[in-house]
Structure 1
Amino acid sequence: MQDSSSSSGLRLVAIPRLVAAGRWRVEAMRSLSEPCLLWFTKGQGRITIAGLTRGYTAHNAVFIPAGVMHGFEASASVFGTAVFFGRDCAVTLPKQPVHLRIRETQAQQEMNLLLDNVQREMEADTPAHDRATQHYLGLIGVWLERQSKKAEAETPKPDATRRLVARYTALLERDFRSGMGVADFAAALGVTPTHLTRCCNAACGRPASALLQDRRIFEARRMLSETRTPVGRIATDLGFNSAAYFTRAFQHLTGRSPSAFRRAP
């Protein structure tokens, strides 16, 4: 499937293209300013959404609302399509993250056909193709709602651990630039740092500090690759105590200094 886009901000991108500029763009913790649907058709890996890690395989549909922190493994064997709905999408979509394992062949074919139809209409110059695109997007929203209802009986209710980690990742996404440490976030959540870290390890196999550092370093990599902001200013903007500490943290996680990362093609 080719990449397609429209003036409304809607984009269909083949998942291998998402990592063409670096796997860190999908694997590191980050959030988007628009809703996103990941439809995996081949391969497997792990995906972390709001601090909860689960495995994914072929014919998994993962819907991620705007502002929800997430990251997923994307090896060379993973294929599928990412639908970015745009910031002003009027389609009715889930309010919470959804991870669906689609086992019915008919439901799998329905999603494939809907995506093909969206792409065809986006690329068309026939009358009312924009309106047709929106109608097909609406049907994707209906598909998600119906498949979510079917999966409700199989989906365990989030326990206290998962609820705490979801609150932590939401707070982290809001305040990761503030310079707050894990102890500060734990205090804001009314728990001890040890308890918060224990819950994060249980939910996603990573301590609370790793989620925080991953989010900050992702933003640093984005700013280094997409802007000309000086390294010292990036360190300040992301709440690091000094440019030297930022450089050490960045190099520890990425294997390169900020300047070397910026120079790399």
Structure 2
Amino acid sequence: MKQPPNYGLYGEISSNPIIDGLHIESIADRSQLYDWEIKPHRHDDLLQILHINKGHGSFSIGTLHSDISAPCLLITPRLAPHGFSFEKGIEGHVITIHHQWLLNFFSQERNVLNIYENSQTIKVNKKSEAWLTINQTIEQLKKEFFGSKPWRHQTVNALLVSLVVMIAREANNENQITNNQSKSISYINQFKELLDTHYRDHFNIDFYANQIGVTQTQLNRVCRNVLGKSALTVINQRLMLEAERDLLYTALSIKEIAYSLGFQDAAYFTRFFKKQSKQSPNEFRNSKRQ
């Protein structure tokens, strides 16, 4: 099965498209560049909130297909394929949040995480106090995000936390989760979170499968269906990501990097790195610094 394209922001391949764990833009900013048609795609580590204040359109998020009619909010969780068709003149915003930001602030709030790990649409009353407050918070968030006043970072985080909570309350109060995230995406979320904690431990696939509560075969199948790659490839790529970061952004020796990543010796690390990238660690470091 062909996988939808995996982007940072739509149309951008960059793996680090946002700063402060956040990006915010009007729907028109990007969609008008593509004739108001955003084709199905997904994001590995980014979730999005669509704030629709005026206008119409249609969308698909995972297996959920529906029309858009303002005012409403749409939540597209990370990994879920989604696409949109907007009418010209639609007004609203796309708020993109890095999944790690959400974990940093809400790791102990499972109910909040559940809301943002599910594809859903939230209809609102445009005259309600909640909708007016959400609109005001988004305007304040935009002003701070694009500004340069002192303590900008702290203010952006405070406003974003408030917005995330307000939207979660609307979803919770109205009980409007329209399409529970598939078990497959839930498994992938758990797998990636475990990897972030244990990639240095070099655990095998069985360890992760047991932690998630599935078999090794099931985890492999889920990875291939959702990510288009095996579970072992996902493990190796997470380790490679950290290795490349250390090679590019630190002055650590190859031996020091090898030990910090859980390898028994530098030679083993070098063989692993070359197998994954077709370059030795030193060749990679030198080629990127030229």
Q: Normalized against structure 2, the TM-score is what? A: 0.54
Query: Which among 186, 196, 208 is matched to residue 173 of structure 1?
Result: 196
- Counterpart position of 1:11: none
Q: For structure 2, list consecutive stretches of 5 or more residues without a partner in the other structure.
A: 1-7, 32-37, 47-76, 85-92
Give the CA deviation at 1:176.
0.8
Residue correspondence of structure 1 range 193-232 to structure 2 within 5 A:
193-232=216-255
Counterpart of 2:140 in structure 1: which amino acid? L
Deviations 1:54-84 (A, max 9, x none): 3456854343453789xxxxxxxxxxxxxxx
CA 1:204 to 1:38, structure 2 compared with 1: closer, same or farther past 3 Å? farther
Query: Which among 231, 242, 259 is matched to residue 236 of structure 1?
Result: 259
- Counterpart position of 2:97: 63
Counterpart of 1:63 in structure 2: which amino acid? I
Matched residues in 1 for 2:261 and 2:98: separation? Answer: 24
CA 1:209 to 1:150, structure 2 compared with 1: closer, same or farther past 3 Å? farther
Matched residues in 2 for 1:150 and 1:229: separation? Answer: 51
- Counterpart position of 1:118: 144
Counterpart of 1:66 in structure 2: which amino acid? Q
Counterpart of 2:100 in structure 1: which amino acid? A
- Are positions 1:37 and 2:53 aligned together? no
- Counterpart position of 2:68: none
Counterpart of 2:148 in structure 1: which amino acid? E
Q: Which structure: larger Rg?
A: 2
- Counterpart position of 1:48: 44
Matched residues in 2 for 1:214 and 1:178: separation? Answer: 14
Q: Percent identity?
A: 20
Give the CA deviation at 1:118.
1.1
Q: Normalized against structure 1, the TM-score is what? A: 0.58
Give the CA deviation at 1:185.
2.3
CA 1:185 to 1:226, structure 2 compared with 1: closer, same or farther past 3 Å? same
CA 1:244 to 1:42, structure 2 compared with 1: closer, same or farther past 3 Å? farther
Deviations 1:148-181 (A, max 9, x none): 5699746422344333333322222211110112
SS in 2 for 1:163: helix
Q: Which has the higher contact order (CA 8 A, sep 6+)?
A: 1
Cα contact 2:78–2:117 (8 A) shared by 1:
no
Cα contact 2:240–2:273 (8 A) shared by 1:
yes
- Counterpart position of 2:74: none
Deviations 1:72-108 (A, max 9, x none): xxxxxxxxxxxxxxx789xx9944545779999x999
Q: How many residue pairs are counted as aligned between the two chains?
A: 218
Deviations 1:172-207 (A, max 9, x none): 221111011213323444543222101222233222
Cα contact 1:197–1:207 (8 A) shared by 2:
yes
